[in-house]
Amino acid sequence: MKNKIPQFKNEAEERAFWSSHDSTEFVDWNKARKTVLAKLRPSVKSISIRLPESMLEELRLLANKRDVPYQSLLKMYLADRLESELKHSHA
């Protein structure tokens, strides 16, 4: 039997509670389900990456054909590859 999660007056109180308690005492993580929060904007971090000029030009051409910014297309390609690699590593 898991413990009941208390009612919190505000976010600060809840934050303090969870910083000093183990969630496994309150939640059965074996019964947890994955959810997608589509409306949330992920935090982003700017990075610098060096690409061969020819690769960047090809990326821009492909992005232009799809009518998307080349940086967005690059993010889409990276996301697809990450998903593929993670599926293979968990198989």
Token readout for 60 is 């821009």
Q: Is residue 40 part of a domain?
A: no
Q: Are residues 26 and 54 in the same domain?
A: no
Rg (CA), the chain: 21
Q: Are residues 61 and 29 in the same domain?
A: no
Q: Is residue 41 part of a domain?
A: no
Average pLDDT along the chain: 92
Q: Are residues 64 and 88 in the same domain?
A: yes
Q: Is residue 11 part of a domain?
A: yes
Which segments within the chain are labelled E, that is strand? none
Q: Are residues 31 and 55 in the same domain?
A: no
Cα separation, 73 vs 59, in Å, equals 8
Which pLDDT belongs to residue 90?
A: 76
Which pLDDT belongs to residue 80?
A: 96
pTM summary value: 0.54
Q: Are residues 56 and 20 in the same domain?
A: no
Q: What is the DSSP letter of 25?
A: G
Average pLDDT over residues 46-68: 97
Token readout for 65 is 């054909």
Cα separation, 47 vs 15, in Å, equals 31
pLDDT at 69 over 90: yes
Confidence category of residue 85, pLDDT binned at 50, 70, 90: very high
